[in-house]
């Protein structure tokens, strides 16, 4: 049995496609738009427009950030406090008054899920559950996200990520088949694999310090994402390292470089 296990690890290390179609390594490095494709005129981070632009590109994924309001609504926004409003400490009524730079109102998660559901694009939604002020609030946000994504029947088109290990654990418990990756960069692939997580999603500096973690993750059947990579030489270096996904503010540039 021990020899069989070692052979399996060897095979997965050198044949990434063996882990099945759920792992991007089987088809090479792919692009994830960071907060959507938000840099062009008329767009904005974490907006309906930025998601639609990413869907139109047909890239692997479009990342968003979510917070749970005091009255149980899931708002899409990156910063803990935005235009003087802290979503987790206030109500939906206060959040929906906020205007993004392109004039849109701050969206709820369900607003973006509706766009995703209508789209025929292969692009998936990468949902980052933000670290809330208390671990339990992060768990609550994660649980609420799983519930609404299930309600819309989009489980197979969504991946989850978080800096909160509690949020990651909650998602895995409630949706054992979901792709869940940890962001903080302070745990080895094996530690996360033993917890049931499916991926590591670390800053580029983490992989500069631990390039071996890419192969280690693949040997365990996990996927590997790197963020946030905008420079051409860094994009190419991460592709050569063998990461599955590159999260970037420049999705068009990334696509041009990894799929010339």
Summarised one tens digit per residue, pLDDT across range 47-100 is: 999 999 999 999 999 999 999 999 999 999 999 999 999 999 999 999 999 999
Q: Is residue 140 part of a domain?
A: yes
Angle between helices 2-14 and 212-219 (to 10 degrees): 120
Cβ neighbours of 55 (radius 10 Å): 23
Scored b (16 or more CB within 10 A) or e, 87-97 reads bbebebebbee
Scored b (16 or more CB within 10 A) or e, 218-248 reads bbbbbbbbbbbbbeeebbbbbbebbbbbbbb
Q: Is 14's pLDDT higher than 80?
A: no
Q: Which domain holds residue 58?
A: 29-258
Q: Residue 115, SS3? A: helix
Summarised one tens digit per residue, pLDDT across range 139-194 is: 999 999 999 999 999 999 999 999 999 999 999 999 999 999 999 999 999 999 99
pLDDT band of residue 111 (cuts 50, 70, 90) is very high
pTM as predicted: 0.90
Q: Is residue 247 part of a domain?
A: yes
Q: Is residue 187 part of a domain?
A: yes
Mean pLDDT of 4-20: 38
Question: Residue 103 CA to chain centroid, in angstroms?
Answer: 25
Q: Residue 77, SS3? A: coil
Q: What's the rounded Cα separation, in Å, for the pair 221 and 20? A: 9
Number of domains comprising the chain: 1
Cβ neighbours of 29 (radius 10 Å): 24
Q: Is 9's pLDDT higher than 50?
A: no
Q: Is residue 57 part of a domain?
A: yes
Q: Is residue 81 part of a domain?
A: yes
Q: What is the per-residue pLDDT for 8?
A: 40
Element counts in the chain: helices (H) and strands (E): 11, 9
Q: What's the rounded Cα separation, in Å, for the pair 186 and 176? A: 23
Give the CA-trace dihedral at 239, 241, 247, 253, to 10 degrees. -20
Q: Is residue 14 part of a domain?
A: no
Cβ neighbours of 112 (radius 10 Å): 24
In angstroms, the Cα distances linking 122 to 56, 66, 116 are 9, 22, 10
Mean pLDDT of 240-250: 98
Q: Is residue 122 part of a domain?
A: yes
Sign, CA torsion 110/111/112/118: positive
Q: Is residue 165 part of a domain?
A: yes
With residues binned 3-state (H G I as helix, E B as strand, rest as coil), the percentages for the chain, rounded to 5, are 45, 20, 35
pLDDT band of residue 27 (cuts 50, 70, 90) is confident
Q: Residue 60, SS3? A: coil
CATH code of residue 108: 3.20.20.190
């Amino acid at each position: 049995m021990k020899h069989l296990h070692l052979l399996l690890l060897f095979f997965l290390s050198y044949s990434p496609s063996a882990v099945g179609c759920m792992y991007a390594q089987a088809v090479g490095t792919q692009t994830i738009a960071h907060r959507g494709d938000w840099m062009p005129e008329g767009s904005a981070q974490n907006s309906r427009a930025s998601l639609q632009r990413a869907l139109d590109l047909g890239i692997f994924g479009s990342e968003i950030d979510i917070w749970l309001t005091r009255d149980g609504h899931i708002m899409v926004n990156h910063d803990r406090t935005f235009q003087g409003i802290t979503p987790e400490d206030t109500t939906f009524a206060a959040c929906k008054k906020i205007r993004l730079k392109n004039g849109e109102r701050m969206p709820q998660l369900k607003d973006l899920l509706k766009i995703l559901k209508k789209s025929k694009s292969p692009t998936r939604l990468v949902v980052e559950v933000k670290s809330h002020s208390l671990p339990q609030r992060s768990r609550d946000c994660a649980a609420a996200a799983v519930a609404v994504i299930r309600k819309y029947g989009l489980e197979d088109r969504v991946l989850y990520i978080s800096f909160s290990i509690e949020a990651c654990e909650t998602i895995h418990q409630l949706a054992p088949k979901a792709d869940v990756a940890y962001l903080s960069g302070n745990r080895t692939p094996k530690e996360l694999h033993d917890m049931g997580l499916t991926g590591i999603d670390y800053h580029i500096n983490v992989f500069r310090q631990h390039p071996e973690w890419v192969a280690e993750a693949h040997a365990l059947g996990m996927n590997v994402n790197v963020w946030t990579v905008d420079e051409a030489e860094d994009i190419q270096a991460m592709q050569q390292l063998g990461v599955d996904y590159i999260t970037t503010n420049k999705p068009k540039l990334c696509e041009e470089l990894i799929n010339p």
